[in-house]
Chain A
Amino acid sequence: DAGVTQSPTHLIKTRGQQVTLRCSPISGHKSVSWYQQVLGQGPQFIFQYYEKEERGRGNFPDRFSARQFPNYSSELNVNALLLGDSALYLCASSSTPTEEAFFGQGTRLTVV
């Protein structure tokens, strides 16, 4: 069975550019969450979607946006990239928002 898949795995962007990260959840999972993780810290919650509706939003600026599609896959968009946006971006899927979540391998974004 396929787990959570994320694309791309690595990405290099320049300041001011825009980036779109993609996530496909485990089959049957309707909840997708996005996290940002910098070295030495735990994952920081960005967004959670369930049944295509936003159910939670972390403390991130409006440059960050996301959506969930009818097939429950999801995209995370970041506009006007800053150097500080360099991080590992993780997607996790679960059956419902409060159940155990399973992570994809992440997208490592470097902003130069």
Chain B
Amino acid sequence: RKEVEQDPGPFNVPEGATVAFNCTYSNSASQSFFWYRQDCRKEPKLLMSVYSSGNEDGRFTAQLNRASQYISLLIRDSKLSDSATYLCVVNGDGASGGSYIPTFGRGTSLIVHP
């Protein structure tokens, strides 16, 4: 099993749709979690951190489920400009057997069409 797994997609949705991505991780000692957005041939840009209690930033909601070891990203009211690849990142803190190594998923491709 890969350390961090994402469905590569593509997810093809119309404008205004709600879409959700999941990202599963294998290391139960993981401590911090993030979602990044990457446009074609550009660097990843931080979208949001993922907190244990869940967090929201405008149309974006991130959640963490430690029991089932996954994080999720929900995008409401999709815009054309949301078309990109969404990468999840899982980090340990180096303690209790956790790794410092930040591990990226391979990314989920989202295409929002008119």
Contacts and interface: CB of A to CB of B under 8 A. Distances in A.
Interface residues of B, number: 26
**Helix, strand, loop or mixed for chain B's interface?**
loop
Contact of A101 (B46, B99, B100): B46
A97 B31 CA distance: 12
Interface residues of A, number: 24
Nearest to A43: B104
Interface string B81-114: 0000001000111100001111111110000000
**Helix, strand, loop or mixed for chain A's interface?**
loop
A56 interface: yes
Contacts, number: 56
B43 A106 contact: yes
Contacts of A105: 42-43
User: Which of B34, B99, B102, B103 has the most chain A CB atoms inside 10 A of its CB?
Assistant: B102
22 contacts: A33-B102, A41-B107, A42-B6, A42-B104, A42-B107, A43-B87, A45-B104, A48-B101, A58-B101, A90-B43, A90-B44, A97-B100, A98-B31, A98-B32, A98-B91, A98-B92, A100-B49, A101-B34, A101-B46, A102-B46, A103-B45, A104-B43
Interface of B: 4, 6, 31-32, 34, 41-46, 49, 87, 91-94, 99-107
